[in-house]
Copies of this chain bind each other. A is one copy, B any other.
């Protein structure tokens, strides 16, 4: 399984992914699910992937090859992030269809595209295996793919468009940590990319191994704080509630 979060804020983007893949419980590997596109300096594009690893590798490779071979439609020639999402959706559908037709097996995958094209706002798109896509909204500034439920409550609680990049980064780490605690198929290293609006070059990229001191300090402090919070809750026995 996989867990990736794409948060779209007024200040920029925070993208986070785990790195565990498994094909059966005894075939567990580590693969990055965060793919930086080599693009012209007028854009910054990152793709995160969940689902069949062969499919996502084929999509990323095709997108890179289309640039190298100067195909008219590629991640460098399109002027809108939505058009790039549409292009990736078409590539995704083609890769899935090929194997479905040959074998009947449907190697589904889902993508999150995050980035910015010069002159437009940074944004995130979720691209479905059917090739269509959605973007985040004012009310729901984040997108998730993969094992999304365990880590959703903390995002719902803290993330708004006005959240700072730093706060969104910490919230993403907590969301990822809660998910890893509850589901063995999501695992480190955790990759995180923090992109400031209009930055284009050199977004901050972090890779947190399981024993990374900062990741451990977040986990430890969050556990501490929640224990404290739990002890501070109003006690049931002090309330008259019998029914």
Stretch at the interface among A68-76, A128-136, A218-226: A218-226
The verdict on A27 contacting chain B, using a C-beta distance below 8 Å, is: no
| Chain B minimum-CB-distance residue to A157 | B226
User: Do A171 and B230 contact each other (CB < 8 Å), given the known contacts A153-B178, A206-B241?
Assistant: yes
Q: Which of B156, B207, B241 has a CB less than 8 Å from the CB of A243?
A: B207
Pick from B156, B182, B225: contact of A156, CB below 8 A.
Answer: B182
Task: Quickly give the copy total for this chain.
Answer: 2
Chain B residue nearest to A241 (CB atoms) is B206
Residue of B nearest to A177 (CB): B153
Q: Which of B152, B156, B235, B243 contacts A166 (CB 8 A)?
A: B235
In the complex formed, the residue of B with least CB distance to A214 is B239
In A187-243, the 8 Å CB interface with B consists of 204-208, 212-214, 217-218, 221-223, 225-226, 228-230, 232-237, 239, 241-243
- Does A87 make an interface contact (CB < 8 A)? no
Among residues of B, the one whose C-beta sits closest to the C-beta of A152 is B182
How does the 8 Å CB contact mask read for A154-187 relative to B, with 1 for contact and 0 for none? Answer: 1011100000001101110010001101100000
Q: Is A80 an interface residue (CB 8 A)?
A: no
Other-chain contact of A225, B205, B228, B235 (Cβ < 8 Å)? B228
Report Cα–Cα, A167/B208, bound state, in Å.
Answer: 34
Q: CA separation between A1 and B204, bound complex, in Å?
A: 41
